[in-house]
Amino acid sequence: MQKANRRYRASENGRACRRKQACRYRQRLKERRVCEPPEEREGYHNAADSKIFRCDRPGCYERFHRTSRSPLKKYCSPACRQALRRVLVREARWRDRLGLT
Contact set with Zn ion (CB under 5 A): 55, 57, 60, 62, 76, 80
74 SS3 class: coil
Minimum distance, C-beta of residue 87 to Zn ion, in the bound complex (Å) = 13
Minimum distance, C-beta of residue 33 to Zn ion, in the bound complex (Å) = 24
Measured in Å, how far apart are the chain's first and last C-alpha atoms?
69
51 SS3 class: coil
Minimum distance, C-beta of residue 74 to Zn ion, in the bound complex (Å) = 9
Residue number with CB closer to Zn ion (13 or 82) = 82
Residue number with CB closer to Zn ion (38 or 59) = 59
Residue number with CB closer to Zn ion (40 or 62) = 62
Distance CA 40, CA 36 (A): 7
Contact 63, 54 (CB under 8 A): yes
